[in-house]
Amino acid sequence: MPTRSGSARYEGFGKEGHGWTSTQSGVLNDTRYGFGSRFEDGPGTNPEELIAAAHASCFTMALSFALAGAGYHDGTLETEARVTVDKDGDGFTITSSKLNLKGKVPGITADEFARIAEDAKANCPVSKLLKAEISLTHDLAQ
């Protein structure tokens, strides 16, 4: 199995510092981040939105494969992950990742969709990595 990598560089310290992050694939290439993009509305990315994107995409892919394994081969899945960082003493802790799933899967019941989605939530590799509380809401369009 492949090992993927990302990197970060930071210049200066504290609120005045700023950094750049890149991914092995080049999708992110010296993308700016810092205090302003993490805790305010400044330009750039931040670790929480990158974790949210990773969690949403991992979970959605895991669910797609689980649905295919259950015999479903058509439909759409859309997931938003909302990752929360909270103050924790002198530092910060990522306290939750909330997945909000909207799906359209012809022929599936709401109960079966929920069961397969909950299993995908528990077993996607990013869910297994995260130690935070992970919740899931789902909406199946008919």
Pairwise CA distance, residues 60 & 70, whole Å? 15
pLDDT above 90 for 34: yes
User: Looking at the DSSP assignment, which residues form a beta bridge with residue 22?
Assistant: 7
* pTM of the predicted model over 0.85: yes
Pairwise CA distance, residues 86 & 83, whole Å? 10
Q: pLDDT, tens digit, for every residue of 93-139?
A: 999 999 999 999 999 999 999 999 999 999 999 999 988 788 999 99
What is the signed CA dihedral for 109, 113, 116, 120, rounded to 10 degrees?
Answer: 170
Pick from 27, 29, 35, 36: nearest CA to 8? 29
- The single-letter DSSP state of residue 142 is -
> What per-residue confidence (pLDDT) applies to 132?
77
Q: pLDDT, tens digit, for every residue of 35-93?
A: 999 989 899 999 999 999 999 999 999 999 999 999 999 999 999 999 999 999 999 99
> What per-residue confidence (pLDDT) applies to 1?
83
